[in-house]
Structures are given as C-alpha cells and as structure tokens.
Chain A
Amino acid sequence: MMRRCIAAGLFALAALAAQPARAQDRVLLQLDWIPTGEHAAYFSGAARGAWREHGIELSLTRGYGSGDTVNKVAAGTAAFGVADISAVMAARARQNTTVRSIMQIYTHSPHSLFVLRSSGITTFQGLEGRRIGITPGNSHRLYFPEVARRAGTNPDRITWVNTDASAMAALLISRRLDAAPFFAIHHYYQNKAAQRAGEEIIVLPFVETGFAIYATTLMATDETIQRNPDLVRRFLRGATSAFTWANANQEEACRLHVQRNREVELDDCQGSLRATMSYVFTDHARQTGFGRQDPERLRFTWEQVAASQQIDPAWDYRQAVDVSLLP
C-alpha cells in the first residue's frame, strides 16, 4: 500500500512535469472525501480499465474536503482532483491558485438539511426558532442566507450549533439538533441508521428553493492543461466512459467499488450511487452536453460563491473553468 502510494505520487509528479504523451501515463486522482458510493464510478472505472484503454493507469486516493484537494492538486501531490467548483473558484480568486475545473460532474448542488420526520419540520420555514448543527467553514452555512431568502425564512431566528462532522448525524438522531447539514446523496445510509433507532430522516434540498448552483467537478492545474492537453483529454474520455458505464450498471459498479473499499456496504453503495447519478445525468446535463456548463448557471454559481465568501464579484470567474478538452 505504502509503496503503491509513493509510486503513484511520484508518477503523478512525473506526469505533471511536462512530458509528451506516453503509452501508459500513471496518474493519481484525489477524491474530495472518503470513498463512499458517491465515488463508485471512479473505482469501478479504474477496475474495469476505463482509463487504461486511453493510455492512463489511474490510482485513486481519498480526500479531506474540496479545499484540501484543490491545495494538493495545486501542490502537485495529485494530477487531477474531485472538488466542488466553489473551492476551485475561491482558491483561484483569493490566492491565484492556478487550478481550473475541467469537467462538470454535478449539475446542481446536493446541499441540503436533514431533519427528523418526528420533529414536524417539513419546510425551510419550519426551521425558525430551531437549532441547526454546523461545522466551521461549512458551505451550507454560507449559502443558507440566500436559501432562506428564497424560502421566506428569517435566518436570524435560527440558532447554529458548532460541532464535529462525525458527531452530526448522531446528534440529529438523538434529537440534540433539529436539523443537520448534509449532502442529499448520503441520505440513504444515514436514514437506514435512523430507522434502526426508530426515526426517519427527511431531506430539505437547497435546490428546491431554486438555489441551483454547480457543485462537484474534476479539476487540474493550468500547467497540466497547457503542457499536457493530450493527457487531460484522455483522462476526461476515461471519466466520461466510467460515469456512463456506472450509471447503466449501478449494481456491478458498486460490487467493484466495495471490492476495493471494504469499509462500504454494498447496499449503502447502491443507495448513494443511485442518488449521485440523479445529480450527474440530469436534463440540464443533456442540454449542455455531459461535463459542460451553462453560462447562466455558471454565472449564478459564481455570484453565490462570491457573496457567501466575501470575494470581489467583479473577478472574472471564467478563468477558473476550462472544459475545452472534453470529448
């Protein structure tokens, strides 16, 4: 394991070092978080050789949040990353980190609040006077004022409780919190745990208030894109075929995923993957073309990122995106 990691890191660096396309490029892809069913398309794709047929030997490693993935890709630890577009935009706008989104994966964000059915909360208005858990720097908190405005909720009447991410769901289920911020993708297995405790989790997705922003993307550095466009092109071809196949063969994709990630249960993986694909293969994606962005939604995404993170909205956000190498 250790040797493989070192080798993958070294080869990823080598791939960055401006070499012309080779027969088999060894490339490291850093995920945005621990591998859940959300990432089954990458693991099943790698296991089936989706990238190998494009001359890429792909290794995968876990992430520690999008911000961290952006930093590691920028530092050359990994050649490609899975990160939220807001992290890519913010890093570039704030620190001129030379990274770009090269493929849009989620056409809208899975940001949502989880509440217990027994709490009687069914809408965002019902949250007034309640306690919502949050982790420091969590984007749910940053986007919430806009969501509250759209839903007609008074955000000042909500108490935010700072807590640890791993304790969040347990606090919700044990009713010490009234709502907790989660990506809707993780509803399936968390609800399973809630049901074991005699509760049921319902989801209040931000997108239902019309808050449709782009989310997870694949990203790389300017250097990789400029010096090795062929590698990026082949990587994206592999990613497209991995996602297409995983969408059509979800059970098989999850089988391959849990073979590699034994911490994930097959059933949980399928629940997550099903939800994930509803963010990837959407009507919106069919209109823009898979992996591409709609200029209007991209502009709205930047407006929200800039407003929520106090960045100059006049900054040209388009420099944080380059989808020209998509197949």
Chain B
Amino acid sequence: MARFKAGLPAWIAVIGLFIAWEAGVRFFGIREFILPTPSAIWTATIAVWPMVLDHTMSTLMTVLLGFAASVLVSLPLAMLIASSRAISAAIYPLLVVTQSIPKVALAPILIVALGANELPRVIVTFLVAFFPLVVASVAGLMATPPELIELGRACRAGRIQELLRIRLPFAVPFVFGGLKVAAALSVVGAVVAEFVGADAGLGYLIQTSMAFFRTPLAFSAVVILAIMGIVLFQAVSIAERILFPWSSGAETSAPPAA
C-alpha cells in the first residue's frame, strides 16, 4: 500500500499527459498525420497487434543482447582502468573516440562489413550503451575512501582481494547508476541500428509506417519503445533492491563493512 501511494504521482502524471494529449489534439483539430490522438494510436495498434508484438520482440532481443554485451565488456574494462594509471591513460582516449563517432554514421559501415544480421545491430546497441556504464563503474571503483584501502593493505589484502572485497562493494551504487543509464540507452541504440539495417523491429516499423502514412502506428512504436525503456530501467532498480538492498537506499544506509 505504501509503495502504491509512492507510485501514485507518477501514474497521475502519465495518465494526465495522455488526457491532455487527447484533448489538445481534438481541441486544436491537429491532423492525424502530424499528431494522432492516443485513442487513434491505441486503435491502430490493436488492429494489427500480432505484427506489433513480433516487431517488439525483435527489438527487445537486440536491446537485451546489446545490454548484456555492454555489461560483460564494461565491468571488466572498468576494473582494468581502475587498476592502473597507465592502462587508464591508454584506454580512456580510445573510449572517448568510440563515443565521439556518431553511431548513425557507423552503423551502415558495420552492416556492410558484418552483413545484414543481428550482429551489427547488437554492436551498435553496445556502442551506444556501454560508455556511461564504464565511466560510472570507474568512478565507483575510484571512490573508495583511501583509509579503507590502506586498512586493507595493512591487513595484507592482495590487489585482487582489494578489488573484490573493498572497491567493488563500494562501487555497487555507481555501477547500478550506470546500468540504469545503459538500459535506457540500449533502447536508443537498438532503434538507431534498426533504422539502418533491419527487416524487423520497432525502428523498422516506424520507418515503414511513416512511408505508408500510418502515422498512428509509428507513434505506437514510439510509445512501446518508451515503455520498454521504463520497464528495463525499473528492472535494473528491482535487481538492485533485491541483490544489494543497502545500495538502493545508499543515502540512508552505508555499505557493509568490507
């Protein structure tokens, strides 16, 4: 009940947004191909829901694979960067390079090189999502209070022990902060990839719907993408609450003694 009450303002805001949208479009007589009403979007989606579901599952697959890839690469990479100044100096510029290249420009090149299949889409999703996760994880690993590190060293903790038992627990709230950003960005990455190389997926649905003037269906895909982003974000939050209950309320409770 308490949780329901806490979530109430969010629900009111979302429902209010849709009501204002519906009323605004009707009141100002905005034509459907510019901005369809939520009811028109709903009707268009329900009429072809098996197709929309297929496209959704296809995008979800890319998002999850890309997200998984960014987690699998980012955490070890962050540990590597945090472990040594030399490695950090060598890797960071390269990471910034990957972030400076617009993924929309990179995606077609990857597809020519790797073929029109899932792999280039996952790579683009990964490239969009992994950077904030690396930065957040490194920040977390470096944020450990120096006294704790010194205490660890005084107790003859090795580098591995120091990393696993002191630095990592301290980094958990930062890592989850990065994971939340990465989860939302994965959705963006998957759609960018689908715009330039896919026969299915919500990005593809947006393109075809716009081409065929089925604007409500394009908006439907956009709304589903938004929902997908919210769900993934919440899933990460829930995982954090379950796995590291002390982390999610970091401001009220401190991490366990290392």
Contact = CB atoms under 8 A, between A and B. Distances in A.
Partners in one complex: yes
Interface stretch (A97-105, A152-160, A187-195, A295-303): A187-195
18 contacts: A1-B200, A2-B117, A6-B115, A9-B115, A9-B116, A36-B211, A62-B198, A72-B112, A77-B115, A166-B211, A169-B33, A170-B33, A174-B34, A189-B213, A196-B32, A197-B31, A265-B212, A268-B212
A264 interface: yes
Nearest to A6: B117
B51 A262 contact: yes
Given A6-B117, A6-B118, A77-B112, A189 B212 contact: yes
Contact of B33 (A34, A75, A173): A173
B213 A169 contact: yes
A64 B108 contact: yes
B149 interface: no
A47 to B, nearest CB: 16
Interface in A165-179: 166, 169-170, 173-174
Contact of B116 (A5, A36, A166, A197): A5
Nearest to A77: B115
Contacts of A9: 115-117
Contacts of B58: 1
Give the interface residue-count category, chain A: 20 to 34
Nearest to A9: B115
Contacts of A30: 116
Contact of B61 (A2, A190, A192): A2
A5 B122 CA distance: 14
Interface stretch (B181-189, B202-210, B232-240): B202-210
Contacts of A5: 115-118, 199
A68 B205 contact: no
A71 interface: yes
Contacts of B209: 263
Contacts of B119: 6
A190 B213 contact: yes
Interface in B109-145: 111-113, 115-119
A61 interface: yes
Interface string A192-219: 1100110000000000000000000000
Interface of A: 1-2, 5-6, 9-10, 30, 34, 36, 61-62, 64, 68, 71-72, 75, 77-78, 166, 169-170, 173-174, 189-190, 192-193, 196-197, 262-265, 268
B13 interface: no
Contacts of B163: none
Nearest to B31: A197
A195 to B, nearest CB: 11
Nearest to A186: B211
A263 B33 contact: no
B45 to A, nearest CB: 13
Most buried by A among B33, B34, B199: B199
A257 to B, nearest CB: 13
B230 to A, nearest CB: 25
Given A1-B199, A61-B116, A166 B31 contact: no
B14 to A, nearest CB: 27
Interface in B41-62: 48, 51, 58, 61
Contacts of B215: 170
Nearest to B55: A263
**Which 9 residue pairs spanning A and B have beta carbons closest together?**
A193-B213, A263-B208, A9-B115, A2-B118, A166-B210, A6-B117, A262-B51, A5-B117, A75-B112
A166 B213 CA distance: 9
Given A34-B208, A72-B112, A77-B115, A64 B196 contact: yes
Nearest to A263: B208
Contacts of A264: 208, 212
B214 to A, nearest CB: 8
A104 B112 CA distance: 25
A218 B256 CA distance: 67
Contacts of A263: 51, 205, 208-209, 212, 214
